[in-house]
A and B are shown apart, each in its own frame.
Chain A
């Protein structure tokens, strides 16, 4: 496998989201009726779901998490049941959850079947890259955990923050910067975000234009296409390894050299989960990216 895709890059069809929303609503309605007790018995799978649980003040109920759950930092102390697409049924059961809250796309399906057979409630929280999608996630998590009033408060707060951040980030179409989201630069090849990704959604929300709109998802693109995309700014995830490639090396890459971003050495690095998680901190991410793009307050 030439490239290693980001674990927190989510793309979902609207249809799938709708279907699972109804499913989750049915399950969550059933759940909230009989599990309001507050003991540590929840397994959270998916970075944004864990964030929402913590933001609802329910972190004490978490018993374990998955690899993608890295915020708040305190959850790092919880047992890690592995990557959400490759769960081991016995591993999941070994942490003894009575409720599993998971982001859309946990698996494999066989593992979920066994977990359901062990009478562990499993609620899937649908993912959607929009303000409404974030609010919906909070609502479902809140209902499932039996704290709808906390959820209502958090939703109002998050919505107000998002609306304000979006209004603040709004700019005339001809004044928007072109942003290239680079997922990785493995082997000297740029793997960039096309449309339909969390990165694409965030760039648009933060008042930028995705420099690549020819394809969906994350793909390696040729050096010439990078030049053609002419990004004003390069956006990357701020974490070790490949993503932490020093600026010098990045701007020395032939693909990048020709871009306006290289001339002005414009690069923005942000935490991956903050940027792509579409959880309670997305307003903050929008603001940060907008500030970084248009050099506000710095």
Chain B
């Protein structure tokens, strides 16, 4: 990696630039939140509801349900999931020193997918009392267990004598992904048509199923994981110099690796569990920010959280208004909008992508 010198002596003005970006992105996120609450399939708007509240009028039931039971939990989930995916992507790219790394690299995606498919296809075989208890939470719960479980397995496979080999983890992740894919294939084969439809939609991701219960079940884990990830900035910068050098400049490399992997598994596992497979945020957001303000992880991680949340909730606005009253899966929107923009930036800045 040729970026080593850049990071070791990060230009002061670039760092200041990146810090200023915190504020810009925070404002952008705030604006995106307002747009998100203002626009939807119904003609309920944030402004009209606020005006009513200011005049002490009571809200109609539809206004209350749309704003407080549909849009707000959806917004909260969008922020959490967008931030989780983007920060996980940034951390993984730093840890693996590989620009293609995304949260899926630690096996979360494949494992969560397998868990979700298991729950969708075989959930009906569970004893009735278990289905009653689990209800709507069965698929998210299985997805989380699958994602988390596969990460732990990968971590165990690639750790010897207290040292985790990132390369082994990468390879084992590919093998594990293939295995999970094959098992999913078997389940797809025995699934009936409705289950297949559910699987397809799950794989495209959506925030449409957002509810306060889901937000509350995912929030603690995502916030804890994100908070932990924010403290990895200095360590990831050091790691960009290579593991040996990082150790020499006083970074506990092994501890950092395990913390990063667990944080990513937690954040992504919870995000994927509540929203399905939303692609592209984890790859695009960190790279956009590296192009904009350099590869310093001390600022990159927080900026990723802000930009990831902003982009996802804006994508959600598009997903729900473009074919209203029906709704597009959000994974389609992030890919359709994200991919061309990303390609355009790559073309414009050919040869400048560095970690």
Contacts and interface: CB of A to CB of B under 8 A. Distances in A.
Given A93-B42, A114-B69, A217 B192 contact: yes
Interface stretch (A51-59, A84-92, A128-136, A288-296): A84-92
Contacts of B62: 93, 96, 118
Given A82-B326, A90-B40, A90-B42, A109 B65 contact: no
Nearest to B323: A82
A67 B328 CA distance: 13
A5 to B, nearest CB: 4
A119 B214 CA distance: 21
Interface in A80-134: 80-83, 85-96, 105, 107-111, 113-114, 117-119
B135 interface: yes
A25 interface: no
Given A1-B196, A80-B325, A94-B324, A88 B41 contact: yes
Interface in A1-51: 1-7, 9, 11
A6 B40 CA distance: 29
A219 interface: yes
A79 interface: yes
Contacts of B188: 1-2
B219 interface: no
A218 interface: yes
A64 interface: yes
Given A5-B196, A11-B193, A105-B194, A90 B214 contact: no
B206 A92 contact: no
A86 B208 CA distance: 9
Contact of A5 (B61, B65, B193, B208): B193
B327 interface: yes
Contact of A113 (B41, B193, B211): B211
B209 A85 contact: no
B70 A89 contact: yes
B185 to A, nearest CB: 9
B61 A217 contact: no
A153 B208 CA distance: 41
A173 B338 CA distance: 60
B320 interface: yes
Contacts of A5: 193-194, 196-197
Contacts of B342: none
A86 B207 CA distance: 11
B92 to A, nearest CB: 27
Interface residues of A, number: 43
Given A5-B193, A9-B193, A110-B136, A95 B70 contact: no
Interface string B182-195: 00000011001110
A155 B199 CA distance: 37
A91 B211 contact: no
A88 B320 contact: yes
Contacts of B71: 90
Nearest to A220: B189
A83 B210 CA distance: 18
Nearest to B211: A110
> Which of B66, B135, B199 neighbours the largest number of chain A CB atoms within 10 Å of its CB?
B66
A92 B325 contact: yes
Interface string B95-137: 0000000000000000000000000000000000000000110
B6 interface: no
Nearest to A92: B325
Contacts of A105: 194
A100 to B, nearest CB: 12
A268 B82 CA distance: 49
A90 B70 contact: yes
> Which of B208, B324, B325 neighbours the largest number of chain A CB atoms within 10 Å of its CB?
B325
Contact of B65 (A9, A64, A114): A114
A263 to B, nearest CB: 31
Interface of B: 40-43, 61-62, 65-66, 69-71, 135-136, 188-189, 192-194, 196-201, 203, 206, 208-211, 214, 320, 323-327, 329
24 contacts: A1-B188, A1-B199, A2-B188, A3-B196, A5-B196, A7-B197, A11-B193, A82-B326, A83-B197, A85-B197, A85-B201, A86-B327, A89-B208, A90-B41, A91-B320, A91-B327, A94-B42, A94-B43, A110-B209, A110-B211, A111-B208, A113-B211, A114-B65, A114-B70
Interface of A: 1-7, 9, 11, 64, 67, 79-83, 85-96, 105, 107-111, 113-114, 117-119, 216-219
Q: Which 9 A-B pairs have the closest CB atoms?
A: A82-B326, A91-B325, A5-B193, A94-B41, A88-B327, A94-B42, A118-B65, A110-B209, A91-B41
